[in-house]
Amino acid sequence: MEVIKYTFPPHGDERGQLVAIEARKDLPFEFKRVYYIYDTKDGVRRGFHAHLKLQQILICVSGSCKIHLDNGYETAEVVLDKPNEGLYIANNMWREMYDFSPDAVLLVLASELYTEDDYIRNYDDFLKMIKEQGEN
Ligand code: TYD
């Protein structure tokens, strides 16, 4: 599976680093929502869903975590451990997040506002949908 990562150039100087991400300019979509996951307890695995429409960029702005991706045919395990690197997750992609370091802050830029209607939370339903799309 092709894993798409974006590297955002840090504006570094003797004071430290600054990363800026502009909608339209730096990403393949315009983000409408930002959320972040932190204080994740040891051994937690979360996500376990795909989205019908939503596209996202995941950036581990502190610490590290891993992302399991599954497009219904292939899987990938992606390490996120750089504050200036973003993982692109398209729609129709099953994802699970795991191995969070205690200091991990996972920032997510999302193309749509939050709506439960966009979630596929059952893995068998996800596989069925992917296979049906492949037949058309
Ligand atoms: P949840 O979907 O369980 O997170 P994950 O996919 O990482 O396992 O979301 C946790 C809670 O936060 C749940 O009650 C829904 C809520 N939530 C919002 O209110 N807005 C959002 O944008 C997101 C992503 C979640």
Q: Report all structural domains of the chain as residue ranges with CATH numbers, in order of start.
A: 4-9+20-135 (2.60.120.10)
Residue 99: pLDDT over 80: yes
Residue 102: pLDDT over 90: yes
Task: Give the model's confidence band at 135: pLDDT under 50 very low, under 70 low, under 90 confident, else very high.
Answer: confident
Q: One-letter amino acid identity for 114? A: Y
Q: One-letter amino acid identity for 95? A: R
**Cα distance from N-terminal residue to C-terminal residue, the chain:** 21
68 has catalytic annotation: no
CA of 91 to the centre of ligand 1 (A): 17
Give the span between the Cα atoms of 42 and 68, in whole angstroms: 17
Pocket test for ligand 1, best of 114, 115, 120, 121 (most atoms within 8 A of CB): 114
**Cα three-residue angle 105-82-94, rounded to 5 degrees:** 65
Which pLDDT belongs to residue 118?
Answer: 98
Instruction: List, chain by chain if needed, residues with CB within 6 Å of any ligand 1 atom.
Output: 33, 35, 37, 46-47, 49, 114
In order of 10, 21, 109, 130, the CA distances from 55 in angstroms are: 23, 16, 8, 17
Please write the tens of the pLDDT for every residue from 19-50. Answer: 999 988 888 899 999 999 999 999 999 999 99
110 with 32: CB under 8 angstroms?
yes
CA of 77 to the centre of ligand 1 (A): 22
User: What is the number of helices (H) and of strands (E) in the chain?
Assistant: 1, 10
Which ligand 1 atom sits nearest the alpha carbon of residue 49? Answer: 6
Q: Name the residue with the closest Cα to ligand 1, atom 14.
A: 116
Residue 136: pLDDT over 80: no
CA of 49 to the centre of ligand 1 (A): 11
